[in-house]
Amino acid sequence: MLNVRRLLLLTEAAERGSLTAAAEAMGMTTSAASQQMSLLERETGQPLIERLPRGIRTTPAGAALAERGRVIRRELGAAEADLESFADLDQGTLRLGSFPTASASLLPLALTRFSHRHPGVRIVVRAGVLDQLREMLHTGEVEQALLWDYEWNRVDDDALAVTHLLDDPTVLVVPADSPLRTRPALRLGDLADQEWIIRADNHPVADVLRRSCRRAGFEPRIAYASHDYQEAQAMVAAGLGIALAPRLALTSRRSDVRLLPFGSDVPAPTRRILLARAATRAATPPAQAMARVLRAVAQKFTEAGLDRTQLGAVRRGGPGRV
């Protein structure tokens, strides 16, 4: 296989008519350039230049090879430009993993902000449950992913580099006219006689409800099993029962339900929202930029708390744009 650097030296010599000038352009001494040209002729098995009293002239074989070198030089220049543009976030693809709650709350604003700043970067989002997202990270199907965990199922994986974005507290969802709204201090143990709306049994929030109620000393009485949070809100609004939900799952809240926070002494767990990537792979510039955007968006959601107007402004990119 021909040595590319020697081929580029031949191209420079052919264009400049001088091995000395070619050596200067390549950052070499004239003697080193002469040695490299002799090695190239040995590789090709034929003479490529004729040494003249003043300068050089290519042989037919040398001229043909120099023309190939011009094409290679152009392609190498284009490759360097591509790498520079990736570093400057002008182009490329960023593959993200996410789960439904994050995709309906944090991610839309983050994607909008990122695209405005870096329009040349294409973003591909893959959705999944926790185990699927972790597998995508391990296999490289996604470069980074939004994950979640509770105290009993911490993401503890040495193969992942994990950043904590925010805490997502569990809240109580009640009808808009519920007398529970007037309670000065809401305690889970006071809700033992309530009917509950639960997510389907294979959903993590169903586990949260049962764990929380058992820690408070009672088994929840299930009135309805919903398939998504909008359906759960509708059943709460209709008076069928009350529900527990992560706050981020309720950024699109119905006007006929209310969200009530628990006190710090109540066994209603908080889940962590995380950003993870494979620990053995360095984050690309687009991934680093997306991490910065997600941290800023997470901070805005944390500041917004349970106030519906503030949450809506955050999602629209209103007050406190990020």
Distance CA 28, CA 3 (A): 16
pLDDT of residue 4: 93
What does the pLDDT read at residue 315? 46
- Indicate if 183 and 259 belong to the same structural domain: yes
d(CA 107, CA 157): 24
Residue 257 has pLDDT above 70, yes or no: yes
Residue 306 has pLDDT above 90, yes or no: no
pLDDT at 265: 66
Domain that holds residue 60: 4-87
Taking the C-alpha atoms of residue 269 and residue 267, their distance in angstroms, rounded to an integer, is: 6
Asked if residue 321 belongs to a domain, the reply is no
Residues 6+ apart with CB under 8 A from 22: 9, 12, 13, 16, 33
Among residues 87, 115, 133, which one ends one of the domains? Answer: 87
Q: Same structural domain for residues 220 and 135?
A: no
**Calpha distance 56→10 (Å, rounded):** 11
Q: pLDDT category, 316, cuts 50, 70, 90?
A: very low
Q: pLDDT confidence of 313, banded at 50, 70, 90?
A: very low
Mean pLDDT of 284-304: 91
Domain final position from 62, 87, 112: 87
Q: Which residue has the higher pLDDT, 90 or 317?
A: 90
**312 — pLDDT class (breaks 50, 70, 90):** very low
pLDDT of the residue at 230: 92
Q: Name the residue with tokens 């490289």.
A: 140
Share of the chain above pLDDT 70, in %: 90
Rounded to 5 degrees, φ, ψ at 229 are: -70, -30
Same domain, yes or no: 248 and 162: no
Q: Report CA 163 to chain centroid distance, whole Å.
A: 12
Q: What is the mean pLDDT of the chain?
A: 88
* Model pLDDT for residues 162-175, shown as the tens digit of each residue: 999 999 998 999 99
Instruction: Grade residue 304 by pLDDT with cuts at 50, 70 and 90.
Output: confident
Q: 322 in a domain, yes or no? A: no
- Using CA atoms, how far apart are residues 138 and 132, in angstroms rounded to an integer? 10
Q: Has residue 237 been placed in a domain?
A: yes
Same domain, 256 and 110: no
Output the pLDDT for position 84. 63
| Mean pLDDT, rounded, for 240-247 | 94
pLDDT of residue 20: 94
For 101-127, what is each residue's pLDDT tens digit? 999 999 999 999 999 999 989 999 999
Question: Rounded mean pLDDT of 172-184?
Answer: 90
What pLDDT shows up at residue 251?
A: 82
Q: What is the residue-wise DSSP string for 9-42?
A: HHHHHHHHT-HHHHHHHHT--HHHHHHHHHHHHH
Residues 6+ apart with CB under 8 A from 179: none
Confidence of residue 274 (pLDDT cuts 50, 70, 90): very high
Q: What percent of the chain has pLDDT over 90?
A: 66
Residues 24-41, mean pLDDT to the nearest whole number: 94
Are residue 114 and residue 234 in the same domain, yes or no?
no
pLDDT at 309 over 80: no
Residue 279 and residue 151 share a domain: yes
Domain match, 103 and 67 both: no
| Whether residue 305 is found in the same domain as residue 157 | yes
181 and 209 co-located in one domain:
yes
β-bridge mates for residue 242, sequence order:
196
Number of domains in the chain: 3
At which of 69, 87, 105 does a domain end?
A: 87
Q: Are residues 81 and 226 in the same domain?
A: no
